[in-house]
Amino acid sequence: MMDKGLLIVISGPSGAGKGTIYNSILERMPSIHTSVSVTTRQPRKKEREGVEYYFRTIEQYEQMLKNDELLETAEVFGNFYGTPKKHVMDVVDKGEDIMLEIDVCGARQIKDKFPECVTIFIMPPSFELLESRLRGRASDSEESIVRRLFEARRELAECENFDYIIFNGVLDESIQKAVGIILSERSKVFRNKQKLNKLLFGSCKE
């Protein structure tokens, strides 16, 4: 038996900068694996099967749920999104790390199923700044912005359920904090019991 890898979950409200931090972590820590989500929405132009998403029908998605093939699931604007379970568990069981960027609801589902996962909440330094960031997105309508702001208030209230919180004011500092959290978690004693047993006793024991 070997020590399991980390399952890292990056979450937070829309506009908090979680996607930017997620991508920056991957640039600095390229050994971390990623996961491709499943969705029931139609592919957009230039989106490729198995790259941006795995595209499935409602019936196929429901069957995956019934077979317990998804770590988490969420409905967003009439479409379903989920994280395939097998790939994530295969990576972790090999002793390697994998990171997900998902919404707060999905993060809660994963934490309930796998308490040992590492959850990081990306928090805007102020709600006013969050609103400013959302309004700076030229592609979003006023209706969409209002809906996202309403949802953000609900999500912000759940930050206490996460292992870590990062106030994303200065981006470089936020990225450094996230990388530091991952490095610290890798070094926790309970995550390295098999290595320790091999060193101390010459063989891996539970």
Per-residue pLDDT tens digits for 153-172: 888 889 999 999 999 999 99
Which CATH number covers residue 193?
Answer: 3.40.50.300
What six digits make up the tokens of 127?
């709600």
Residue 128's pLDDT is what? 83
User: How many separate domains does the chain show?
Assistant: 1
Above 70 in pLDDT, residue 148? yes
Residue 149 banded pLDDT, cuts 50, 70, 90: confident
Pairing of strands 7-11, 118-123: parallel
Q: Within a domain: residue 54?
A: no
Q: Within a domain: residue 52?
A: no
**Whole domain around residue 120: which residue ranges?**
7-35+96-201
What is the distance between the terminal CA atoms of the chain, rounded to a whole angstrom?
Answer: 8
Question: Buried b / exposed e across 72-102, counting CB within 10 Å, b at 16+?
Answer: bbbeeeeebbbbbbeebeebbeeeebbbbbb
Residue 137's pLDDT is what? 65
* 29-44 per-position pLDDT tens digit: 999 999 999 999 999 8
Q: Within a domain: residue 189?
A: yes
Q: Within a domain: residue 116?
A: yes
Q: Within a domain: residue 197?
A: yes
Taken as a whole, the chain contains a residue count of 206
The predicted model scores a pTM of 0.86
